[in-house]
Every structure is written in C-alpha cells, then in structure tokens.
C-alpha cells in the first residue's frame, strides 16, 4: 500500500499546550483592582458596624465587644460579595442593586447564625438596622468613588487595557470607534484576517506578546480555522474577544460579554498558560507508570495465553498517525493471525463503516480465540501504556488511526491530529465500535477538543471503566 503524503508540519507541542508558563496578560492589574475593592468593602463593613454600635442602643453583648464577631460580619459579607460576582470585570462592580442584595443577604445570614449557634447572645435591633443601612451607603459610595477615579484616570490615558483588533478592512473603522467608546482600551494596532493564516499565525502571536497586548478583539467572520485560533490565543495567555456578525456563532469556551450595547463572545485566557495541559501530562505519566507495575502479572498471563493459542509474536506493533500527522508505533497485544494486514484487502468489501474511512468488521475471521476475549474487555489495549510513558499518547484523546484510514481524511478531519492521541476518548465512551459513521466519530473528537479540561478527561476515564465492564460496543 502506498502512503500518500499527509500535511506534516515542523514538530511542535500539542495544540492545548503553551510554549512556556506565562501569567495571563493583564492579570496583575486585574488582581490589584480586586484587592482594592475587597479592602474598600471590608473597611466599609467595619466602619458601618462600629458606627452602628456607637449610635445604636447600647447593650452589653459579645456582638458589640468581641473582635471575633466583627471578623465574622466582614467574612460573611465578603463571601457573599464574591459568590454574587461583585468582583468580576465589567459592569459587575457597578451593579449597586446586587450590592444591596448581597449586604441584605449577609445581614440575614448573620441573624441566622446568631439565632442557631448563639441564642443567648443579643444585639439590639437599632444596631442591626443601622449596620445594614450604613453598610449599603458606605459600600456603594466607596465603589462609586473607585469607579469615578478609574474613569478620570482613563480619561488621562492611564489604567487602560492594551488591545489589538483583527477584522476585515471594511469593518475596521466601525469596530475601532465602538471599542474606543468604552474608554478603557488602548488600541495598539489593527490588522486584517490574513495575520491569522497558518503562515503568519506564530509571527502574529509573537508580535502581540512583544506589544504587551492583554486582549485581542477578533471579528468572528475573519477567523477561518476557529478551533485552532481559539486554542492559540488561549495558550499564549491572551484573552480573545470575538465580535459577532449577524450570523452569530457560539464557541463552547466562550462567555457573553457586553461591549457597549453589543454582545461579544469572550474566551478568557487562563491565569497561568499551559498549567492545565502539563497537569494532564504529569497525570498521564504517573498513572501509566503505576498501572504498568500493577498490571505486570496480568501482562505475563496474557502473554502466555497468546503464545498457547496461536503462533506469532505476543505484541502487535503497527504504524499509526499521531500528533501533527507524525507516524509512531502503537503497541497492542496480538489478537489476530500474523498475516492479518495482508488479508484485509480481501475483506474491504465487507467493511461495516458506511463511509469507508475506517475499517470495522464485527465477525472478523482474522481474530484468534484469545483475541476475541481480549477485545471484549479491551485488554489488548493495555500495552499502549508504554506509548503513554514515551509521550506518544495520552490516557485520553482521539484514537490514533492507521495510515490506511488517515489517507482518506478530508481537510476538516485533520484537526484531530493537532492533539495528543489517547487510549480512550469521547468517541469510545459514546458507543465504541457501534458508531458506524466516521463523521459522527470525528464530531465527537472535535467536541472533546473544544471542551477539553482535566475534569473532562477524568469523567471519560471513569466512563471507560463502565464501558469496558459492560462490554459496550466491543468486538
């Protein structure tokens, strides 16, 4: 079989990995803003409580005399503020209705705590009501002063976020005007969609990093390879804000964010770029090493069964197409006769995959007796833990396919080759071999890439255990 050339690129890491650990652009400024707001809120709550005690009905009570009750008051208040989203960026910190609701909820919780856990301790009603009223006044006033000061500084050109706009030429001026109306950005530059082409992409991201760009505004219509672009900005530590067109589309990692009256889709950058992916790689390495040691008696038992069942080697090694279309040898326990690959040509007419990209045959005559048992419980896949240790595979990811299958790919299918292949994946826990349409399988792989997180990997691993024991779709 001749091997057609695949779209190979120079070696680079998994699409989801960063080139190095980088703190999210603008994180320090955002952190300082949050710390300032927390301090202002805490001072407001303390001042309100002290003045309420001073002007309220005097009463001898630990609520008014002990510092621990004051700390409880502040802690409950700040916790409610955090859970109410009052420290998030944008209009959240200026949502005074939500501030009043948070303070009211905090006061109610303090009453419940006092009633349930210290019923013998009293606080006068006038102190309680004054504390609530003064907390509302002081907190709203301090936040108003903070916002007014921020606006004055921004009018002087300070405390602004450095951004870069990427959009089509005919939309550039309109979108620049829209961004400048927000009065919190400095437009460091504008470029058309060609800067995101494959040939220019890395140079563009490097240029944005050198400019110190915090956020990139990109019109949705100017992004050709959406999934690639979103991951590239994400791993560069640059927040991407997508300006929608009339045919607004949704990306799984995006959040709705308002630019004036226009809703935009935002894909926020992580605080430290690349940490989640390297956590995945460390998890892969540690778990695969532990499993190899734990399963060593099982490996020996399977090896003996294979030798007794049919002549040939214990392991089956096959060329598979992995990360960035690079070939590697995948390890499996042999489940077929030794000349299985030569016999496949004669069986192509019986292929049960509708579009013919993959080759699947339920009652494949090439499978040995022991091989059927191994496949039923996916035990033939166990040697791929060696591939994980070597860094060629991950525990979870799109399955690496043989050359014969990849040769039949369409251009859109190659996105699955931009991430590390896995022993199991979303495709495998959503039907395994029962999925008889390659496009459906690719859709599941792309869904996995778009929504990937360490938590998703863990859920797939747990589901895999159930699928294996239930023998779902295995043959």
pLDDT tens string, the chain, 475 residues long: the values are 333 334 444 445 787 787 766 777 778 888 888 999 999 999 999 999 889 888 877 777 666 677 777 888 899 999 999 998 899 877 778 888 999 999 999 988 887 876 776 666 666 778 888 989 999 999 999 999 999 998 888 888 777 888 899 888 877 888 888 888 878 888 888 988 888 887 888 888 888 888 888 889 888 776 766 777 888 888 888 888 887 654 444 555 667 666 666 666 677 777 777 788 888 999 999 999 999 999 999 999 999 998 888 888 899 888 899 998 899 999 999 888 877 666 666 666 566 555 555 666 666 778 888 888 888 888 889 999 999 999 999 999 999 988 877 888 877 778 888 889 999 988 888 765 555 667 777 888 888 888 888 899 999 999 988 887 776 555 4
Structure tokens at 107: 């006061």
Structure tokens at 254: 């995006």
Q: What is the pLDDT of residue 88?
A: 85
The answer, as to whether pTM is greater than 0.75, is no
Domains of the chain: 28-155 (no CATH), 160-272 (3.40.50.720), 275-470 (no CATH)
The β-bridge relationship of strands 22-23 and 272-273 is antiparallel
Q: What is the pLDDT of residue 12?
A: 58
Q: What is the pLDDT of residue 440?
A: 79
Structure tokens at 272: 């430290």
pLDDT tens digits for 393-446?
A: 999 999 998 887 788 887 777 888 888 999 998 888 876 555 566 777 788 888
Report yes or no: 190 and 213 within 8 Å, Cβ to Cβ: no
Written as one string, the DSSP assignment of 167-232 is --GGGHHHHHHHHHHTSSEEEEEEE-GGGGSTTTHHHHHHHHHHHT--EEEEEGGG-SSHHHHHHH
Residue 457 exposed, middle or buried by CB count within 10 Å (0-12, 13-18, 19+): buried
Q: What is the pLDDT of residue 436?
A: 60
Q: What is the pLDDT of residue 11?
A: 45
């Amino acid at each position: 079989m001749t091997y057609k050339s695949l779209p190979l690129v120079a070696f680079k890491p998994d699409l989801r990995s960063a080139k190095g650990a980088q703190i999210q652009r603008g994180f320090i400024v955002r952190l300082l803003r949050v710390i300032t707001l927390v301090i202002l809120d805490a001072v407001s709550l303390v001042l309100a409580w002290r003045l309420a005690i001073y002007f309220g009905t005097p009463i001898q009570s630990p609520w008014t005399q002990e510092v621990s009750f004051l700390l409880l008051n502040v802690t409950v208040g700040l916790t409610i503020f955090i859970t109410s989203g009052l420290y998030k960026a944008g209009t959240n910190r200026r949502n005074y209705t939500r501030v009043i609701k948070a303070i009211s909820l905090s006061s109610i919780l303090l009453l419940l705590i006092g009633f349930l856990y210290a019923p013998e301790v009293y606080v006068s009603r006038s102190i309680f009501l004054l504390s609530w009223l003064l907390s509302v006044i002081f907190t709203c006033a301090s936040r108003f002063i903070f916002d007014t000061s921020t606006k004055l500084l921004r009018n002087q050109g300070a405390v602004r976020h450095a951004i870069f706009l990427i959009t089509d030429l005919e939309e550039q001026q309109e979108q620049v005007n829209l961004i400048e109306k927000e009065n919190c950005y400095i437009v460091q530059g504008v470029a058309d969609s060609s800067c995101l082409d494959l040939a220019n992409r890395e140079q563009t991201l490097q240029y944005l990093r050198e400019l110190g760009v915090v956020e990139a505004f990109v019109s949705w219509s100017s992004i050709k390879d959406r999934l690639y672009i979103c991951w590239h900005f994400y791993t560069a530590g640059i927040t991407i804000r997508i300006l929608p067109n009339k045919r607004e589309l949704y990306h799984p990692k995006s959040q709705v964010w308002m630019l004036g009256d226009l809703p935009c889709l935002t894909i926020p950058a992580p605080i430290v770029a690349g940490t989640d992916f390297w956590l995945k790689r460390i998890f892969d390495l540690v778990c695969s090493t532990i499993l190899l040691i734990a399963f060593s008696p099982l490996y020996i038992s399977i090896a003996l069964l294979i030798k007794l069942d049919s002549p040939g080697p214990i392991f089956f090694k096959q060329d598979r197409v992995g990360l960035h279309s690079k070939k590697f040898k995948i390890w499996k326990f042999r489940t077929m006769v030794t000349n299985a690959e030569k016999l496949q040509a004669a069986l192509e007419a019986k292929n049960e995959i509708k579009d013919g990209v993959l080759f699947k045959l339920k009652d494949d005559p090439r499978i040995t007796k022991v091989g059927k048992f191994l496949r039923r419980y996916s035990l033939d896949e166990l040697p791929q833990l060696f591939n994980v240790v070597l860094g060629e595979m991950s525990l979870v990811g799109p399955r690496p396919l043989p050359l014969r299958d990849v040769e039949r790919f369409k251009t859109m299918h190659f996105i699955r080759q931009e991430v590390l292949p896995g022993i199991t994946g979303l495709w495998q826990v959503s039907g395994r071999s029962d999925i008889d349409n390659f496009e459906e399988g690719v859709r599941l792989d792309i869904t996995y890439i778009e929504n990937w997180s360490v938590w998703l990997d863990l859920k797939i691993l747990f589901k895999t255990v159930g699928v294996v024991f239930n023998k779902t779709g295995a043959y």
